[in-house]
Structure 1
Amino acid sequence: MSRLNPQTAAKNTAAALLREAREAGWLRAKFEIRPDGSVSVDAGMSEPEGGDDFLSSDLRMGE
Structure 2
Amino acid sequence: MANEPRPQTLARQNAVALIQAARAAGWVRARFELKPDGTTVIDASMADPDGPDDFLASDLRMGK
Deviation of the 1:2 alpha carbon: 1.9
- CA gap of 1:32–1:54, structure 2 versus 1, over 3 A, is farther
* Two-structure CA RMSD over aligned residues (Å): 2.7
Q: Name the count of aligned residue pairs.
A: 61
TM-score by length of 1: 0.76
Structure 2 alignment gaps of length 5 or more: none
Give me the identity figure in percent. Answer: 52
Runs (4+) of structure 1 exceeding 4 A deviation are 52-57
TM-score by length of 2: 0.75
1:24 matched to 2:25? The reply is yes
Structure 1 alignment gaps of length 5 or more: none
